[in-house]
Amino acid sequence: MSDSEDENPDKQLKIVIMGDGASGKTSLAVRYSQENFGKQYKQTVGLDFFLRRIVLPGNIHVALQLWDIGGQTLGGGMLDKYIFGAHGILLVYDITNYQSFDNLEDWYEKIREVCKDQPKLPHIALVANKSDLEHMRTVKQEKHQRFATENGFTSHFVSAKTGDSVNLCFQKISAEILGIKLTKPEVEQQTRVVKADIVQYSNAESVPRATPQQNTRSSLCSVQ
């Protein structure tokens, strides 16, 4: 092992992702850990495991162990073992499915039951997924914020499909757990921004045609 590895050993954080089936938990974990999105829904049976290493301000190296819990495990006998030892828990729901939000009360009750003998609960984040489907929203943001505020959760709005705010969500949660304050530039670094020039033409005839020499591709820059 090199001297640099000795000086900066990874801090291990266990992050459990919970919520109803089809709320996008696996898509969220895959988007964050692999920068990918699968279009076909596959039910998680029991537990899936993902890993991503990041560096937080102060050269803090962190290994995030993501425990993706199947939605059907709420009434199962293994859930307490999955939750035990978690540093952070994401309560994920689908903004287009009100029932997935309403059922988070049951998930939260299970967390409190498992952690009742611990000095404090793990860091809990309320994560509204599928923000790209805003036009189909059934859960008002006011209800989201009220639930988060009443229970002391941090609040996040993400889209596993587009990747919007996914990196920022995990970055903030990791920093909160470790007591690291992120600056505004550090937050902005984790935010996907897509910029495009808007050009207005007076009539269709004045629109320039693309030639083989012109570059007509758009580009997306994601800073991680």
Token couple for 125:
């984040």
Instruction: Give the separation between CA 12 and CA 88, rounded to whole angstroms.
Output: 11
31 assigned to some structural domain:
yes
CB count, 10 Å around CB of 38?
13
216 assigned to some structural domain:
no
pLDDT digits (tens, 9 = 90+) for 86-145: 999 999 999 999 999 999 999 999 999 999 999 999 999 999 999 999 999 999 999 999
Pick the range with the lowest mean pLDDT from 79-88, 136-145, 165-174, 189-198.
189-198
Per the rule left: phi > 0, alpha: psi between -120 and 50, beta: everything else, 171 is: alpha
**Enclosing domain of residue 32:** 11-190
Q: Which long-range contacts (CB under 8 A, 24 or more apart) does 105-113 make?
A: 106/74, 107/18, 107/19, 107/74, 108/151, 110/74, 110/79, 110/80, 110/83, 111/18, 111/83, 113/80
pTM greater than the 0.95 cutoff: no
Task: Tell me the average pLDDT of the chain.
Answer: 84
The number of folded domains in the chain is 1
122 assigned to some structural domain:
yes
Region 185-207 average pLDDT? 55
Residue 85 belongs to domain with CATH number = 3.40.50.300
pLDDT higher than 80, residue 76: no
